[in-house]
Amino acid sequence: MTEVTAGATALGRPLEDLIACPSCDALYVARMPETGGRAVCDRCHTVLIAPKRRAGLRIIALTVAVLILVISAVFFPFLEIHRLGLGNRASIIDTATAFSSGPMAILGLATLFMIVIVPLIRMILILYVLTPVVFDRPPWPQARRFFRWSQDLKPWAMAEIFAIGCAVALVKVADLAQIGFGPAFWMFSALVVIVLFNDNYLCTWSVWKSLETPRD
């Protein structure tokens, strides 16, 4: 990536060739690094462009997997415990509705959003945006808005944090009762790994670039 220096005439370039670091505002002439390489802002070291080989197709495959896993994880029992002949199973929905009395209901709703609904919406938005791009079709209507939303929602999708929370909860009740893992627990664990990989593949700048170029 070429730096734009104060003396250079790089500003004569069309604006779409330039890229500004979102973190520190440094201006560069954008140049696609080799696949697998990264273009990094050399002032603040924010990664600006990081294209991956066949990223689009991989992301779509992983996203479909996540959709299936989230939907099934919601309905299967998640964890179960036994003590003195008494037992209880909890699904993810039970977990979110555990905060059900009075003002706690707000917290239950927020929990449901953060561990199921927001990750689900993000996945659907990303599928909607990327599918036409990967198959070399013009973007579907509203694709840019939906991609922006998927980026805005990113910090609020907390499925992976919930999964680590399960581990902590298990240790906490270990001496209180016997614990069993339901099928949903394993689905959720798989989901977490996939989500982490998925975010790693997504180069937002490349996506924006492909949404910008008219493809007809």
Length of the chain: 216
Q: Segment contacting other proteins (CB under 8 A): 51-59, 61-69, 131-139, 173-181? A: 173-181
Q: Does 145 bind other proteins (CB under 8 A)?
A: yes
Nearest to 180 by CA among 83, 52, 65: 83
Asked if 184 touches other proteins (CB under 8 A), the answer is no
Comparison of 29 and 67: residue with beta carbon closer to other proteins: 29
If DSSP codes are grouped into helix, strand and coil, which group holds residue 108?
A: helix
* Closest CB to other proteins among residues 24, 64: 24
β-bridge pairing 79-83 and 178-181? antiparallel
* 163 and 196 Cβ atoms separated by less than 8 Å: no
- For the CA atoms of the chain, what is the radius of gyration? 22
Under rule CB under 8 A, which residues in 58-87 are in contact with other proteins? 79-81, 83-84, 86-87
Q: Which of 37, 138, 165, 183 binds other proteins (CB under 8 A)?
A: 165
Residue 50 C-alpha from the chain's centroid = 16
Q: Which helix (H) or strand (E) holds 96?
A: helix 92-96
User: CB-wise, 58 or 148, nearer to other proteins?
Assistant: 148
Residue 216 touching other proteins (CB under 8 A): no
Select the span of 64-72, 119-127, 131-139, 167-175 touching other proteins (CB under 8 A): 167-175
With CA atoms as reference, report the closest residue to 2 among 36, 25, 24, 32.
Answer: 32
Nearest one of 61, 30, 33 to 212, comparing CA atoms: 30
Taking the least distance from each CB to other proteins, the nearer of 61 and 165 is 165
Total number of residues that touch other proteins (CB under 8 A): 75
Query: Which residues between 13 and 52 bind other proteins (CB under 8 A)?
Result: 15-16, 18-27, 43-46, 48
